[in-house]
Amino acid sequence: MASQDWFDKDFYKVLGVDKSVSAADLKKTYRKLARQYHPDSNPGDAKAEATFKEISEAYSVLNDPEQREEYDQIRAMGSGARFSAPGAGAGGGFDDVFSRFGQGRGQPQGGFEDIFSMFDQQGGGGFGSGRFGQTTGGFRGFGGPQRGADVTARTTIDFVTAAKGETITLQGEDGVPFKVKIPAGVSDGQKIRLRGRGRPSPDGGENGDIVVTVAVRPHPVFTRDGLNLRVTVPVTFTEAALGATIEVPTLGGDPVRLRVAPGTPSGRVLRVKGRGIQSSKGSGDLLAEVQVAVPAHLDDAAREALERFHELEPKENPRADLMAKAR
């Protein structure tokens, strides 16, 4: 950062804070602004990107107590401080204007060209190097190296691949192929970020990332409910009424046998522990929802049997409670 920037840039105004702002409030304000103007939140918006760099630059100075003190002092001098000549009570000539900044870190020994040399004592290099060049939120120092651009890619995978995970090869928007590991349990619309695999910085800063958006094809049988898998299992009227042991499919595995209790109604959910999605976040269950299948066609014998059952079944109205509540 050129020395003139210390006089010209009002970092407090950039962040919209008062000069007496506390460190906690400063951080709170910066985080709010960073979320608002971050390039990931404003893709293709050059103005937002420029604003993000300005607030990052301002915060990197004001968040460091030592830099903030130096900045305040230099700004104060630049806004009307008088510089006296040697003698008559003066502490030194123009060469000593900034000498107090060097206390405890070595005094500048040269002429005017060394006024700002004390900033070089902590990390080597010219003004804007050393401590001023450290990475802060993807922006390095004052006018320092910029982070490389992100590369985006999209892929559509099948339901089983999303559940089990797999390493696949894709091609980014820049045409360069790359491999990405799809983690087990990835969900539809999820983004996978490959740190440092994007475009290089134009001036020696950090590389950008590769951001892969994943779409998952629907499964003909299973649906996701968080880490749980849901499946609808048809049963016959007699299985539901009398009870039965039935087979239920699992995702990519052998079927499991479940007991349907006598009198099981449509919509009841039977749970199979640990047979849902397996991921780094945990394991889900298989939720089998029972649906009573009504036969579309009956032969004469079956119809007669049902008519006899109708004569024998309890004369309760299953809709009586529903009608009462609706009144």
Give 31's pLDDT tier (boundaries 50, 70, 90).
confident
Distance between CA atoms of residues 196 and 208, nearest Å:
5
Work out whether the CA dihedral 322, 324, 325, 327 comes out positive or negative. Answer: positive
Distance between CA atoms of residues 324 and 327, nearest Å:
6
Task: Please tell me the predicted confidence (pLDDT) of residue 82.
Answer: 39
The fraction of the chain above a pLDDT of 90, given in percent, is: 40
CB within 8 Å of 297: residues ≥ 6 apart: none
Distance between CA atoms of residues 159 and 219, nearest Å:
6
What order do you get walking across the sheet with 286-293 strand by strand?
A: 223-225, 228-236, 286-293, 269-272
More confident call, 87 vs 12: 12
For 181, the token pair is 């590991």
Closest by CA to 260, choosing from 240, 275, 285, 230, is: 240
Closest by CA to 37, choosing from 16, 17, 26, 52, is: 52
The average pLDDT across 21-33 equals 90
In the three-class reduction of DSSP (H, G, I as helix; E, B as strand; rest coil), residue 79 is classed as: coil
pLDDT > 70? residue 298: yes
Span 42-86, pLDDT tens digits:
888 888 888 988 888 888 888 888 888 888 887 776 544 434 334
Distance between CA atoms of residues 38 and 145, nearest Å:
17
In the three-class reduction of DSSP (H, G, I as helix; E, B as strand; rest coil), residue 219 is classed as: coil
The average pLDDT across 99-110 equals 42
Task: Please tell me the predicted confidence (pLDDT) of residue 84.
Answer: 38
Distance between CA atoms of residues 12 and 109, nearest Å:
32
Distance between CA atoms of residues 143 and 96, nearest Å:
27
Task: Please tell me the predicted confidence (pLDDT) of residue 6.
Answer: 59
pLDDT > 80? residue 112: no
CB within 8 Å of 108: residues ≥ 6 apart: 95, 98, 99, 102, 114, 115, 117, 118
pLDDT > 70? residue 87: no
Q: Which of 103-107, 127-131, 221-225, 295-299 has the highest mean pLDDT?
A: 221-225
Q: Which amino acid is at 302?
A: A
Task: Please tell me the predicted confidence (pLDDT) of residue 296.
Answer: 87
Distance between CA atoms of residues 304 and 301, nearest Å:
5
pLDDT > 70? residue 19: yes
Span 221-276, pLDDT tens digits:
999 999 999 999 999 999 999 999 999 999 988 999 999 999 999 999 999 999 99
Task: Please tell me the predicted confidence (pLDDT) of residue 159.
Answer: 95
> What b/e string do you get for 304-314 counting C-beta neighbours within 10 Å, with b at 16 or more?
eeeeeeeeeee
Distance between CA atoms of residues 166 and 48, nearest Å:
36
- Cβ 62 vs Cβ 15: under 8 Å: yes
Give 5's pLDDT tier (boundaries 50, 70, 90).
low
Radius of gyration of the chain (CA): 35
pLDDT > 80? residue 98: no
Task: Please tell me the predicted confidence (pLDDT) of residue 246.
Answer: 96
Distance between CA atoms of residues 289 and 266, nearest Å:
8
More confident call, 7 vs 89: 7
Distance between CA atoms of residues 64 and 304, nearest Å:
89
More confident call, 88 vs 268: 268
